[in-house]
Structures are given as structure tokens and as C-alpha cells.
Amino acid sequence: MSPAPVIRQRLARATGRLTGAVRASTRLSVPTSVLLIAALLAVASWVTRLSGGAPTAYVHAFYLPIIYAASRFHWRVALPTAVVAGLLAGPLMPLNTTGGAQQSATEWLVRLLAFVMIGCLVAALSKGSNRSFTAMVTDARQAHLLRLALAQGQLVPYYQPIIDLRTEHVVGFEALSRWQHPVRGIVPPADFIPLAERTGIDVAIGIHMVAAAARQTATWHAAGTRDLVIAVNISANHVCQQGFIGHITQALDRSGLRPENLCIEITETAIIHDRRTALANITHLHDLGVLISLDDFGTGQSTLAYLQEFPIDIVKIDQSFVSRVDIDPKCAALVLAIIQMAHALGATTVGEGIERASQLQALVALGCHQGQGYFLGRPAAPLAPDAPELRPLVEPLAAATSHPDRSLT
């Protein structure tokens, strides 16, 4: 067997491996990147000339500047780079190879077309992403660990109380994901949820969280507590899945929890992701009796349009507003406007991220219905139905917060 095909295969595989490594340097400045492309073209041309002509396996060296240009600047720069590479590997090369075979114009054009196609393909694959190869490898490794953690039951819901600000009673909980890592300890969601969303594990986590939270709430109900509502965050990918409705109804059926005791929290990102599918799924759930909450209200785009179009039962005022509601008159005015608008639409308002008494007092004065935050209770692991710590579920807030070191859960 001739060594030429083997060399071509090995170079092709090496080029594929180098794609990510080349993209890792895309954070260079534009002038430096342009100089690098020119240098790569010059080196590839020089190597090809020394090899005796373009038809040899060494022509694959021209892939490097094309791949880099596509990764750094996408097709607008990849296209001219591919054309220049094609000219250098074609008409500007010697007419004869070391073996004496003459290059035809058709061969040059085919090679040029191949270069252009490589550039466009890499540009299409890298569009919208400037993440380095190292980051992608890290993601793959962490995603594998996250899948194992989910399979081994290391991802569990922690429950943060939601308080009725008028009656001072706990009316429900928000289930928040926690990773019980065997080495790192309790890992907060901010450290793994973005990874889950990038790698598609967020759907499996959402299914697991809804099922676990529904079972826990049904257990509390069976223990004689009043009708608590459990809120669960759902990712944009999950809301827009065709099987989303089935996941929710299955969790309700298996746990015995009534639909009106489950609240699905969505963000504006979920609605933007696939507006038509999101609207159909959310409307279907709402018709079944499941509560729909719009999380992080006021931080996204077209919020008012969503309130009009989607069946929203609860509006959660983002922590960025709550954090200054007691010290900034403009912020207080915005919060008041949100509360009044939600009231007019028949929606309940929940203030998120309450961390001090003055914020709580300001929200009460503005007419906010409910609140949650570290001042009212930190997220905690679920308790047994007969645990004495469950007394705050049926006691006023004043009694529940008389022990500042004790969680409301």
C-alpha cells in the first residue's frame, strides 16, 4: 500500500484534533489574528513548495489558517482565506509534482472548492460560540460527573420557605437544586446549572426535581400540614420539549399531589427560546390547574407582552429590585408599579432575595403579597413529617423566626 493515503489519513485526523486547539487562541486581538493567518498561509505555501507541489499530502497544512480564520471571524474571513489558500496550493504552485504528474485546472478548482467548504463548515459549527477548546473539554468532563451524580442520587432539592407577608404564615416552598458532592460538599446550583443547560442535562435534572419535590410535598400534606404549594424552576430547554407535559403529569400522578399545589417557575428566556411551544405547554399545564410563575420579573425583554399572552399566576420580583427597595426611591417606585400591574392582572407578587428587615417592611408597605429570602429562611434539606422543626409550617412568622439560627424548613 502506498504511504501517501496513510499520510493523508493521519494528517486529516490531526487536523480534526487541532480544530479545538486552534479555537482556543481566538481571544487574540484582531491584528494579531490577521498576522497569524498570513503567517500560517506562508508556512503552508513554503512546506507545499518544498514537497514538490500541491497534490502531495502536505497540502493539508493549508487547513490550519482556514480553520483558524473560520473559528476567529466566521465565514466572512474564512472565505477569502480559503480562496488565497486555494490559489497558493493551485496555480501558484509548480505545475509538476515530484512524481512528474501534471496538475490540471480541474484539480486546482476542486481543491479550492474543498478549502472553501472546510472554511464554511467550521464557521457554521463555531457560530455563536467563542468558548475555548480547554473549556469545552472541561465541560465534557464535568458533564460526565454531573450525569453520574444524577444517577447516584447526589442531586437533591433543598427547600426555601415562601411567606405570606400579610398573615405571616409559610404558604409554600421553592425547591432549589443542590449537588451533594462526596468531596466538595454541598455545591450550589450556580456552579452546575449553567453547565447542565449547555450540555443538555438540565432536562433530566428538571424531571428529577419535579418528581422529588412533588413526593416531598405530598408527604407533608399527608402529615397534616396545610395545603402548601411547591415551586420548581424549569429550564428553557425543558419547557420547550414535546414531552414536558408528560413529565409534569407523571410526577403528579405518582406522588398524588394535586395540580394546584404545584407551581412551575419559568423565566423570560424560556419563553424566548421557542415562543410557540412554550405557550402551548404552559397553557396546557395551566388548564390542568398547575400554577405558573414568571421568575426574575423585570430583567428580560418584552415582559409586558408575556404577561398579556401567557397565563401567569405569580410574578416574582427580581432580587435586583428588592435589594434596593428600602434605600432607593426610584427602585421603590418601580417595585410599586410592578405590584400594581400584577394586581390588576390578578397575579400574586413574590419579592425575591429578602435579606434584611427594612426590605421586608418596604415590600409590605408597597402591597407585595409574598416573600422569600435568607432573612425569612435559608434553603434546607427536607425533614421527616414528625420533625418538630415542621411547626413553622402552621405557626406565624413571628414564632418561626424567634430562633434566628433555625431554618424554617
Question: What DSSP assignment string belongs to 359-400?
Answer: HHHHHHHHT--EE-STTT---B----TT-GGGGGGTS-HHHH
Least confident window among 73-82, 194-203, 391-400:
391-400
What span, in angstroms and rounded, lies between the C-alpha atoms of 385 and 89?
75
Question: Taking residues 192-206, what's their average pLDDT?
Answer: 90
Nearest to 383 by CA among 262, 263, 219: 219
Output the pLDDT for position 357: 94
How does DSSP classify residue 188? Answer: P
Residue 359 confidence class, pLDDT cut points 50, 70, 90: very high
Output the pLDDT for position 395: 44
All residues at 6 or more sequence positions from 21 whose CB lies less than 8 Å from its CB, including other chains: 133
Whole-number average pLDDT of the chain = 77
Output the pLDDT for position 29: 56
Q: What does the block give as the cell for 327? A: 434605600
Domain ranges of the chain: 3-126, 140-400
DSSP codes joined into one string, 60-124: GGGHHHHHHHHHHHTHHHHHHHHHHHHHHHTTTS-SB-TT-PBPPHHHHHHHHHHHHHHHHHHHH
Residue 10 confidence class, pLDDT cut points 50, 70, 90: low
What percentage of the chain carries pLDDT values higher than 90?
Answer: 41
Output the pLDDT for position 146: 93
Q: Is the confidence at residue 398, as pLDDT, over 90?
A: no
All residues at 6 or more sequence positions from 171 whose CB lies less than 8 Å from its CB, including other chains: 162, 163, 164, 228, 229, 370
* φ, ψ of residue 231 in degrees (nearest 5): -105, 135
Q: Is the confidence at residue 278, as pLDDT, over 70?
A: yes
Q: Using one digit for the tens of pLDDT, what is the confidence trace for 226-259?
A: 789 999 999 988 998 889 999 999 999 999 999 9
Q: Which of 17-21, 67-71, 192-196, 369-373 has the highest mean pLDDT?
A: 369-373
What span, in angstroms and rounded, lies between the C-alpha atoms of 97 and 338?
75
What span, in angstroms and rounded, lies between the C-alpha atoms of 212 and 291?
18
Contact 54, 6 (CB under 8 A): no
* Cα four-point dihedral sign 117, 121, 123, 30: negative
Contact 351, 363 (CB under 8 A): yes
What percentage of the chain carries pLDDT values higher than 70?
Answer: 67
Q: Using one digit for the tens of pLDDT, what is the confidence trace for 116-170?
A: 777 777 776 655 455 555 566 677 788 889 999 999 999 999 999 999 999 888 9
Report strand pairing: 170-181 vs 155-164.
antiparallel
Determine the longest span between alpha carbons in the chain, in angstroms.
Answer: 94
Q: Using one digit for the tens of pLDDT, what is the confidence trace for 312-323?
A: 999 999 999 999
Output the pLDDT for position 237: 87
Strands (E), 123-189: 155-164, 170-181, 185-187
Q: Is the confidence at residue 279, as pLDDT, over 70?
A: yes
Q: Is the confidence at residue 393, as pLDDT, over 90?
A: no
CATH class of the 140-400 domain in this structure? alpha beta
What span, in angstroms and rounded, lies between the C-alpha atoms of 389 and 409?
7
Q: Is the confidence at residue 195, as pLDDT, over 60?
A: yes
Q: Is the confidence at residue 28, as pLDDT, over 80?
A: no
Angle among Cα 302, 306, 308 to the nearest 5 degrees reads 120
